[in-house]
Amino acid sequence: MSMNKALTIAGSDSSGGAGIQADLKTFQKKNVYGMTALTVVVAMDPHNHWDHQVFPIDTAATIRAQLSTIVEGIGVDALKTGMLPTVDVIELAADTIKTYDLKNVVIDPVMVCKGANEVLYPEHAEALREKLTPLATVITPNLFEAGQLSGIGEIKTIEQMEEAAKRIHELGAKYVVITGGGKLSEDKAIDFAL
């Protein structure tokens, strides 16, 4: 029996707690052969409130070369996206999924680095909503991302969280898991799945 193969199209987090490093750890724990297409390098400064510096990979051609090598040369049973730093890269990920008819697609619609409060690039929400969300087997936005994708804006209640999940599902995602963490309650983590 061969090992399942998963590709993560995401950024590198130098702390090892997120991005491709976290994805590869998860794949390994689940006995899945992990492969990566690097989109961006993020450097976080623990001495400055985890301030972020973001260094995108300079061309879509570099990312395209990584993707074609993996998909054509090795094969992909599942794909996960993370930080896609430009609309061009979002479109490249969507085109790759469609061109190769990839299945088991998990979209983590990263729009901010942890601790940040604004979209990395304002046009992200629209591109993620229109290009990638319809291709998702599962999409896993946090509260901020769910508010942006659904058009609700800031989500402050469980009812808004549920409405956001319905709207995102209507965009084409088969399953929606909104990760709320401890933002809606002081004493419990609240996530919502549809």
66 within some domain: yes
Whole-model pTM? 0.90
154 lies in some domain: yes
More confidently predicted of 31 and 189 = 31
Each residue's pLDDT tens digit, 116-175: 545 556 788 899 999 999 999 999 999 999 999 999 999 999 999 999 999 999 999 999
**118, part of any domain:** no
6 and 94 together in one domain? yes
Do 67 and 33 belong to one domain? Answer: yes
* Structural domain that includes position 181: 137-194
Can you tell me the mean pLDDT for 19-24? Answer: 95
Residue 126 covered by a domain: no
Q: Which of 97, 113, 129 is the last residue before a domain boundary?
A: 113
13 pLDDT exceeds 60? yes
Q: DSSP code of 130?
A: I
| CATH code, domain carrying 30 | 3.40.1190.20
For 39-106, the DSSP string reads EEEEEEETTTTTEEEEEE-S-HHHHHHHHHHHHHHT--SEEEE----SHHHHHHHHHHHHHTT--SEE
| Predicted confidence (pLDDT) at residue 87 exceeds the cutoff of 60 | yes
Mean pLDDT confidence for 45-56? 67
